[in-house]
Amino acid sequence: MILLKFIERQDLINLTKILKDIEESSTQLDEIILKIVGNYCLQLDNYIGVIGNILNDTTNPITDLELEGAIMAIPTMLYFLNSSSEAIGIREDVAKAIKLFRYNEVFIKTSGAAATKAKSAESAITEESLVHLCYQRAYKMIKNKVEAGYEVLNSVKKVLGKRMLELQLSNKSEVY
């Protein structure tokens, strides 16, 4: 708060405008990234959502059959999602190459000192940089969803394993 005492009112207005611009731009980029990710992750997202709903339903505990189904379904979805993440990785690489190509193209065509050429080239590749950023973030999001999917799978396996152990122990105690 002490810092704010030294910032003039006009500077605060400018900061507020910049923050608003960042929020609006980020929201637009988020929508694009989520659309890319959603095209690949919809099936897994929906399935994990269903499992979450089942787990939250305290009146109807998850059944062994549902756990077994999840143990079979999740790895299948993760298999295809891993392939999709590679497709996004390729798009990220292409976006990066286009950005670099465009940068070099403008750099070569611009006259003046290297610093001037670099500034012109950076200014000229704003859209290419944003497209690259979108694919870069989408790739990371898909990778994170794959990792989270494996965590869910491991949790489901543990729950089913615990139930099987409890069943074995109760069967042994009935025999004695």
* Long-range pairs, 83-87, Cβ under 8 A, ≥24: 84/40, 84/41, 84/142, 85/40, 85/139, 85/142, 85/143, 85/146, 87/40
Query: Is the entire prediction scored with pTM above 0.95?
Result: no
Please check the confidence at residue 176 and state whether its pLDDT lies above 70: no
Cα dihedral: 67, 72, 75, 77 (round 10): -100
pLDDT for 2: 55
Q: Which two tokens stand for residue 108?
A: 């070569």
State how far the Cα of 77 lies from the Cα of 142, in Å rounded to an integer. 12
CB-CB contact of 61 with 147 (8 Å): no
pLDDT for 103: 97
Percent of the chain surpassing pLDDT 70: 93
> Of 93, 54, 97, 100, whose CA–CA distance to 73 is shortest?
54
For residue 44, count CB atoms less than 10 angstroms from its CB and return exposed for 0-12, middle for 13-18, buried for 19 or more.
buried
Please check the confidence at residue 121 and state whether its pLDDT lies above 70: yes
State how far the Cα of 54 lies from the Cα of 155, in Å rounded to an integer. 14
State phi, psi for 111 to the nearest 5 degrees. -95, 160
Q: 160-175, pLDDT tens digit by residue?
A: 999 899 888 888 777 6
Q: 62-120, pLDDT tens digit by residue?
A: 899 999 999 999 999 999 999 889 999 999 999 999 999 999 999 999 999 999 999 99
pLDDT for 175: 61
Region 13-18 average pLDDT: 86
pLDDT for 12: 73
pLDDT for 172: 77
